[in-house]
Every structure is written in C-alpha cells, then in structure tokens.
Chain A
Amino acid sequence: MQWLLLILLIAVVGFVISAYNRLIALKGETLNSWKQIDVQLKRRHDLIPNLVNAVKGAMDFEKDTLEAVIQARNQAVKIQADASPTGGMQALAGAEAALGAALSRLNVVVERYPDLKATGNIGQLQEELTSTENRVAFARQLYNDTATTYNVKQQQFPWNLVAGLAKAETVELYEIEEPKEREVPVVDLSMKPKA
C-alpha cells in the first residue's frame, strides 16, 4: 500500500515538473518571437525617415502623402513602446496596418516618377522596405503560431492545473481585424445591364 502511494506521488511530481517546464519553455518561445516582431518593427520605423528624406526634394507637391507616412510612423512608434504579448497588441497591429497603408500609397506615388527611381538610392530603399515588410510579416507568422500553441496548451487539461504555478497567461495574437478583408466579394455574372 505504501509502495503504491509512493509510486503515485513520484508520478504526480514527475508530471508537475515536466508540465511546468513545458509551459515555461513555450512562454520563452512566445516572448522570443515577440521580441523578433519588436526588432523588425523598430527596423521599419528607423527606415522611414531615410525614405522620406530621399524622396522629399523631388516630391514637393505630394506633401500630403509624405505627411501621412510620417504621422502614421510616429503614432506607431508611440504605441509600440507600451505593447506586449499580454496587452496592447490590437492597438499596435492597427497602428502598423495604418502605417503599411500609408507606405503603399507613397510607393504608388514613387512609381509614377521613373526619374526618381533611377536616380539616387530609391531603388535600394525600396528593396529594404520590401524586405522589412516581409520580415514583419514572417515574424508575425512565427509569433502567432507559437502564441497559439502556448495559449492552447495552458488551457488544456491537465496542463491547465499547472498554468497558475508557471504564471502562464493567455497572450494576444498579432492580428488585424479588417472586416473588409473577410467579406465575401459579390460577383455578378448575369451580364444584365445595370439599372
């Protein structure tokens, strides 16, 4: 009888230790991939003044577009400062999406000036910008995947019993709620003349 109890005790302790370690490891991975997003966003924010300076002279008459980019960037920098996996992700994702939109408008404008693209280092800056956008996207992909695993694990039985001990909290995903993107496009194939 005592033997059985002892074996049971060892099994329980063993499980608690391994579950605890698993949760801590997942937490570490989640924070790590979050840091990656942070680094890449900072890179993006640092790049924008360079880009703006490079095109400013040639595009005096497109001031609004430039102004919008700078504002969106400053807004994003402010919000990034207090975002973390457990809070502020939605706001950050929103601010970054707004910045992305402003940047792509600027890109459209730059495309209209072939001379601008040929001279100076705009071509290089554009490659840097593309790469940075990709890095943010891939960092986000990795973060969302790890964070989802972490969230699911800490709620699953029996890991949820140890979640409090490991100070595991549900983390927010880096997602943008854009109702427009989710809408099903209406396709009209009837070829009827529009009334």
Chain B
Amino acid sequence: MSAANLFEQQRRNRNRSAVLIAVFIVFFAWIGFGADGTLYLQSAGAEPGQYRHTFPFIGIAATLLAIGMTLFAWKNGAKQVLSATGAWELITPSTDEERQFVNVVEEMAIASGLPKPKVWIVPDDDPNAFATGSDPKTAHLAVTRGLLTTLNRDELQAVVAHEMAHVRNLDVRLMTLLAALVGVIAIISDVTIRGLRFGGGGRGRSSGGGKKGGGGALAIVLLVLWLVTVILAPFISRILALAVSRKREYLADATAAQFTRNPAALASALQKIEHAAAPTKAIKHGTAHLCITDPLGRRVTNKEGFIADLFATHPPMARRIARLKQMAYQYEKTGKLVEPAL
C-alpha cells in the first residue's frame, strides 16, 4: 500500500469515528428531547397548579449521558471488548507457543514501525484473532489459544501482520468505538422498550380519566416517531457496524502482505482458519466485526450479493484467499507487491 493510500485510509477512519460519535450523541439527544416534547405537549393543557413540563431536563441529561459514554468508550472500549471475550494478558510467556507468539508480535511491530501492542490470549479452541484500542500507541492484540496451536510460525506471523495493519490504518479505533457504542445502544433501546410496556398501561389509565390536551395529535405523532427510532436503533447500529468492516479486510490483507512480504502465508492461514469452522464461542455478536474471520461461523459470510453485503461482517473467504494468492504469484514473478483491484 502506498503512503498516500495509508494516509487516505487513516483520514477516512478519523472522519468516520467523528461521524459515529456525532450520530451517537444526536441519537441520545433525540430520544431525550423527544421524550421532553411529548411530555410538554401532554401537559400543555393541564390546569394551573398541576405539573407542566417546560424545562427539557430529560434531553439535557440524555445528551450529557451520551457524551459521558463516548468518553468512556474511547478510554475503556478496548478493555470492555477484551473482558467480554474473557482474554488474559500475556506478560511472561511460559510455553514455547507463547514465546513464539510474543516474538512474532515484536517482529511485526518492527516491520510496521509501530510500538509493540499489549498481547492477550483468548481461552478458546477455535482459531481467531482481533485487535482493539483507540490509538496505535495503546493498542491490544488478542488471539485465541486455538490459533496458536493450529498455525505454523509463518502463518501466525501473517495473522499478526493483518492485525497490525488494522492498528496502523486506525481501523481499530473505529471498530472499538463501534463495539462499545453499539452495545450501549442495544441496552438503552431494550430498557426503554421494556419501560414503556410497563409505564404505558399506567399512562393509558390516566389519560382515559383526564381530558385531552390541545397538542394531543402532535404528541402522538411525536411519540410514534420516537418509538420507531428506539425500536429500530439496534438494527441500524448493527448494520452500520457490519458495513464498516468488510472493505477494510481486503486492505488489511494487502498491508499484512506488505509487512511480511509473504502473501502466501496469510492465504494458507486463512484456509486453516476457515477449515476449523467451529464458531468461536468466546466472541459474542458485538465484537464480531473486530475479528480476522467471522467468529460466528455464519453462512452469509461466504455469499456474495446485496443481502450478504448488508449482513456479513467479513468479505467471502474464498475471495480473500484468491486475492492473496494472486498477490503471491505476482510477487514471485515480478518481486513487487501489488494489491489486486476490487
């Protein structure tokens, strides 16, 4: 990958991270101020002396909450992701495999010119790997125990190089933010829907007894719109998470080949990972897009077309392998690494 290409990708990732944060905060503001609006219109016709909702404190609180959560996700997103997978940090390697892994990570840190990331092991027998962190200086790289036992040295090196490519391209920042924020949105939406189901009955009784306010129709429209957003939010945010991760897998594959100058090793690593198709149990839905291959073993990942493009976190494995083999062939013949066109 040329330098211009790299800066372009970094810039795009910075922008996307900013957009993601903005959308997240606006979403919370909308939920908060929407609730304020509904309450205001409902209480507009209330008799003097009764409570009238004029100050939008729900909206302000929700916005502040969103800002706080973004800061938290920025700082602790990586730790959340790691602890969700049950990974433990490898500080002093004790077995030959662990020593080799640490060595390989240090080699790839040199090749990529980045500081050495912190190294983690996920106790799972299915081979998989991911990187996380909001900055290349504080990145974390995790592999499953299965990966260490399945791959040989060159293949492990290729996988680590792929993850280091994600770190250098700033993909991990966007992915980690997404993982943390998507999780929060899912929880909030869940809680709100449950809360409404609960409180909705009570409000029905009280409005049946009282008279209708002037803004009744408007209040209902606002309420419906608001509800639709809350219900759809998890789906939308999930699709956002998926869409963001597919193209960059190709790019990270190419960058990894640039680091190791050995595209064939990554191709054979992907093949081995593919053959061990058991789902990686330790890795849940919310962090799937961070991994080198789809940990959920979904069939949709290996299909092409619109639906697959919408729902798969990773490009079809066969295509990734074919592209790497093409690169390896070119490299053998011409001594130059050229990324095949998409």
Q: Which residues of A contact B (CB under 8 A)?
A: 33, 36, 40, 123-124, 127-128, 130-131, 134-135, 138-139, 141-142, 146, 149
Contact = CB atoms under 8 A, between A and B. Distances in A.
Contact of B110 (A123, A130, A142, A146): A142
Interface residues of B, number: 16
Contacts of A135: 106-107, 110
Contacts of A40: 110
Contacts of B157: 134
B100 interface: yes
A33 B100 CA distance: 23
Contact of A138 (B100, B107, B153): B107
A138 B110 contact: yes
Contacts of A134: 103, 107, 157
Given A123-B96, A127-B100, A142 B107 contact: no
A26 to B, nearest CB: 11
Nearest to B261: A141
A138 B116 CA distance: 14
A30 B79 CA distance: 34
A177 to B, nearest CB: 16
B96 A131 contact: no
A41 to B, nearest CB: 12
Contacts of A36: 110
Interface string B37-73: 0000000000000000000000000000000000000
A143 to B, nearest CB: 10
B99 A138 contact: no
A124 B96 contact: yes
B23 interface: no
A131 B113 contact: no
8 contacts: A33-B113, A124-B96, A127-B96, A127-B99, A135-B106, A135-B107, A142-B110, A149-B3
A35 to B, nearest CB: 11
Nearest to A139: B110
Contacts of A130: 103, 153
Nearest to B153: A130
Given A134-B103, A135-B110, A138-B259, 5 more contacts: A127-B99, A127-B103, A131-B106, A134-B157, A142-B113
B187 interface: no
